[in-house]
């Protein structure tokens, strides 16, 4: 930041100075005013240059911020596109998983014992039939129980054969969900990148504001220097005008004095010429005076 103007170096001019100072004093005063004016003009020029440099840097920072804004907005558009695609795929995957759950419910695969459990139960019952002594009624009930278990096992196995379609549906649902996850990952990456550009934009605008404030202060410093320079120039012009007036006055006084001397010389010459006409003898000095006035 430029230093404030040192007012002690300024040159002051009063109306009294103009009216009462001698020509020599006014010439010295004009020189001081001219030198201080030139110094202040140089100072103003340097401050104007610094101000312009700061304004250029401000524009650079604003342009930088604008670029980050554009990149952020482009990335946010892509984020929105991937969000929409992710949501579409998640909705599709949810529909497929719902369809899978519904088919599982329709097949009732989750009801009752599993195939392994049924096979184990049948094996235990058959082992009991083979190793234990049972009554006729107990034997009949055991055989009937084994047959029911076998029928349940066969029905369970037949339903499990239909699960090939379920596995295919599950694979499709998982593939769609995986694709949705890829788009979600892209959303996260692009959103982070967009946030980085947003932060850079904010920082660039902040720096632009700081530099603009410096430029405004420098402009005020420039105005102060230029106004002081203009004031010194105006005073310099006033002194120059006063010097011209004094020169003119001196010329007029010199001309009046010269005319007065010429008039006195003419009068004296006429008196000498009158004496000459009257026959008086003239000396060399008198003859010179007649020649100078054109009377001889």
- Residue 31 to residue 296: CA distance in whole angstroms: 51
Asked if 234 and 37 touch (Cβ cutoff 8 Å), the reply is no
- Residue 160 to residue 110: CA distance in whole angstroms: 11
Give me the count of residues in the chain: 296
Lowest mean pLDDT among 40-49, 187-196, 259-268: 259-268
Q: What average pLDDT does this structure show over 152-169? A: 73
Please tell me whether the overall predicted TM-score, pTM, comes out greater than 0.75 for this model.
Answer: no
Asked if 115 and 153 touch (Cβ cutoff 8 Å), the reply is yes
At 75-131, the pLDDT tens digits run: 999 999 999 999 999 999 999 999 888 877 766 555 667 778 888 888 888 887 888
Q: What average pLDDT does this structure show over 5-24? A: 92
At 206-245, the pLDDT tens digits run: 999 999 999 999 999 999 999 999 999 999 999 999 999 9
Determine how many CB atoms are found less than 10 A away from the CB of residue 93: 20
Lowest mean pLDDT among 66-70, 167-171, 207-211: 167-171
Which of 160 and 139 is assigned the larger pLDDT?
A: 139
Asked if 101 and 202 touch (Cβ cutoff 8 Å), the reply is no
- Residue 268 to residue 293: CA distance in whole angstroms: 10
pLDDT at 110: 56
- Residue 79 to residue 179: CA distance in whole angstroms: 15
Q: Above pLDDT 90, what percent of the chain?
A: 57
- Residue 193 to residue 215: CA distance in whole angstroms: 32
pLDDT at 1: 47
User: Residue 204 is encoded by which pair of tokens?
Assistant: 């660039």
b/e sequence 117-150, b meaning 16+ C-beta within 10 Å: ebbebbeebeeeeeeeeeeeeeeeebeeebeebe
At 267-288, the pLDDT tens digits run: 777 777 777 777 777 778 877 8
- Residue 212 to residue 219: CA distance in whole angstroms: 10
Q: What is the DSSP letter of 105?
A: H
pLDDT at 134: 77
Where are the chain's structural domains?
13-258
pLDDT at 258: 87
Q: What is the DSSP letter of 9?
A: G
pLDDT at 107: 60
Which of 136 and 283 is assigned the larger pLDDT?
A: 136
Quote the mean pLDDT of the chain.
Answer: 88
pLDDT band at 155 (very low <50, low <70, confident <90, very high): confident
pLDDT at 164: 62
pLDDT at 280: 73
pLDDT at 170: 85
Torsion of CA 268, 271, 277, 282, to 10 degrees: -50
């Amino acid at each position: 930041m430029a230093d404030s103007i040192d007012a002690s170096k300024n040159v002051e001019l009063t109306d009294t100075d103009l009216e009462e100072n001698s020509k020599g004093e006014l010439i010295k005063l004009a020189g001081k005013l001219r030198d201080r004016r030139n110094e202040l003009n140089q100072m103003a020029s340097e401050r104007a240059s610094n101000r312009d440099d700061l304004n250029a840097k401000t524009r650079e920072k604003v342009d930088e911020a604008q670029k980050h804004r554009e990149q952020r907005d482009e990335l946010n558009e892509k984020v929105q596109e991937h969000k929409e695609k992710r949501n579409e795929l998640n909705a599709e995957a949810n529909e497929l998983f719902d369809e899978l759950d519904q088919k599982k419910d329709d097949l009732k695969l989750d009801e009752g014992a599993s195939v392994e459990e049924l096979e184990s139960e049948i094996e235990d019952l058959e082992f009991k039939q083979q190793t234990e002594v049972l009554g006729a009624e107990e034997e009949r009930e055991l055989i009937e129980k084994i047959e029911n278990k076998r029928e349940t096992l066969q029905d369970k196995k037949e339903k499990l054969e239909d699960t090939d379609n379920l596995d295919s549906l599950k694979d499709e649902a998982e593939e769609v969900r995986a694709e949705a996850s890829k788009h979600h990952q892209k959303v996260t990456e692009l959103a982070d990148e967009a946030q980085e550009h947003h932060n850079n934009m904010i920082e660039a605008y902040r720096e632009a504001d700081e530099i603009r404030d410096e430029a405004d202060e420098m402009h005020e410093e420039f105005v102060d220097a230029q106004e002081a320079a203009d004031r010194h120039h105006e005073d310099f012009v006033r002194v120059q005008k006063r010097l011209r007036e004094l020169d003119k006055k001196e010329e007029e006084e010199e001309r009046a004095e010269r005319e007065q001397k010429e008039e006195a010389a003419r009068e004296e010459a006429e008196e000498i010429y009158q004496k000459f006409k009257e026959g008086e003898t003239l000396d060399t000095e008198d003859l010179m005076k007649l020649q100078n006035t054109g009377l001889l």
